[in-house]
Copies of this chain bind each other. A is one copy, B any other.
Amino acid sequence: MGSPIDDLLAALPAGRVLTDPDVLTAHARDEADLCDAGTPLAVVRPRSTAEVAAAVRVAAAHRVPVVPQGARTGLTGAANAVDGAFLVSLAGLNRILEIDPGERIAVVQPGVVNAELRRAVAKEGLAYPPDPGSWESSTIGGNVSTDAGGMCCVKYGVTGEYVLGLEVVLADGEILRCGRRTVKGVAGYDLTGLFVGAEGTLGIITEITVRLRPAPAEARALVAVYPAMTAAGQAVSAIVAAGHVPSMLELLDRTHLRAIEAYRPMGLDTGAAAMLLAATDTGDGTDLAAIAECCRAAGASELYVAGDAAEAEALTAARRLAHPAMEHLAAQAFPGGRGGLVVDDVAVPRSRVADLVAGVEEIAARHGVLVGVVGHAGDGNLHPVIVVDRADESSMDSGRQVFDEIMRLGLALGGTCTGEHGVGLLKRDWLAREIGPVGTKVHRALKRALDPDGIFNPGKVIAPG
């Protein structure tokens, strides 16, 4: 046995192992602020499942940590480097292996970018619904490992609901195939579901079978503007209570409306407290009309129904500007690269959306920190976005305090510490609070069962036992 690097070089074809310090630094982090990153030993770029398995076997022999990475667009530090780790980038396993329109399934490698899969299946008249904000750059492997959500979830659910089967490299380098290609199947324990959202702590996903849906009709959309957040919350509750199933039901608060208007002026009402964006994709205008009526009855000061699909897409595009607009705002507030955003992710019962926003506003005001709220009101999943000055330790401290108080509020409202971003490093302690000592014990038992030496992404999701 040589050194870990020597053995890795011997086990893989030339060009797969990078140890250049600049490369290591470039791969050390995902997009989360507030999370530490260690110094890795190497970046490994396998081109096949067998090469992933070979790298894992070397890691297992040396007890070297293995951190799987996709596009590193995650928001919790789950893909951050661990000291002395092999960073296994799945970006090179990027082939769409199969699209079967008759069975409505696709088989892909983990490095396929979400948008690529969407475009490929659209050509077959099919849809792959999961649409995280990062969809133009994030990979399916990363989406699966974090169980990523998006704007579609209010109607279509998170990534996990589309994963039928997986190929996974286990901690001893063996290759597991689990799940199925059939629509239905309940054979044995749901291993597939266990690896989904496990953030690379139980195995490395090397192939994914997803189910597809028939392409929906063109979306229709509306926006409703509210003078008070409570009224927007009432509209959401009324829409749900009436049994409507919007394909999108998004909320933007005043901070976001102002940030977007400053970034790309489009005549948004920057005096409003909140804006809802609702869409339907059934091809039948009556459901959107009924949703419009719910919005109006809740006290909308303005209501605009898009005339056609292009206009609906324009409204959605405005919503997609929320993140870059807040980044722009942070950069303006703290120039010179100091401005940062901590994007939180909390899901509460739908009826508590307005309570959550009011609580966040109170917390932000008390700490003198700017926090905007945007997100998926229709399923109670909101993103409080905390603006921080990275160069100012007191600003970062305030940001951390605000983050913790928001987490505490979310749990107190009957919510969960993550609706779609996952746990990573950022929320490890909050997960432990949410699931309690018995839940933590079960997590550790499963981790030990599948990864007895703890080589896979150690310290992520759960603290070492």
Contacts and interface: CB of A to CB of B under 8 A. Distances in A.
A153 interface: yes
A196 interface: yes
A161 B190 CA distance: 12
A243 B243 CA distance: 24
A385 B436 CA distance: 46
Contacts of A240: 102, 104
A184 B438 contact: no
A88 interface: no
A367 interface: no
Contact of A158 (B186, B215, B380, B439): B186
Q: Is the interface of A mostly helix, strand, loop or mixed?
A: loop
A183 interface: yes
Interface in A88-105: 101-104
A442 B176 contact: yes
Interface in A184-198: 184-191, 193-194, 196-198
Interface size class of A (residues with CB under 8 A): 35 or more
Contacts of A174: 438, 441
A192 to B, nearest CB: 9
A180 interface: yes
A376 interface: yes
A208 interface: no
Given A449-B445, A449-B449, A243 B186 contact: no
A281 interface: no
A131 interface: no
A328 interface: no
Contacts of A125: 243
A17 interface: no
A245 interface: yes
Interface in A358-382: 376, 379-381
Interface string A137-157: 000000000110100011000
B197 A194 contact: no
A349 interface: yes
A311 interface: no
Interface string A159-200: 011000000001000111110111111111111011011100
A296 interface: no
Given A189-B198, A442-B450, A419 B184 contact: yes
Interface of A: 101-104, 125, 146-147, 149, 153-154, 158, 160-161, 170, 174-178, 180-191, 193-194, 196-198, 202, 214-215, 237, 240-241, 243-245, 284, 347-351, 376, 379-381, 414-423, 427, 431, 434-436, 438-439, 441-443, 445-446, 448-450, 461-462
Given A180-B416, A183-B381, A187-B418, 16 more contacts: A149-B184, A182-B380, A182-B419, A184-B347, A184-B419, A185-B418, A186-B419, A186-B420, A187-B434, A188-B197, A188-B423, A190-B193, A190-B196, A193-B194, A446-B449, A449-B449
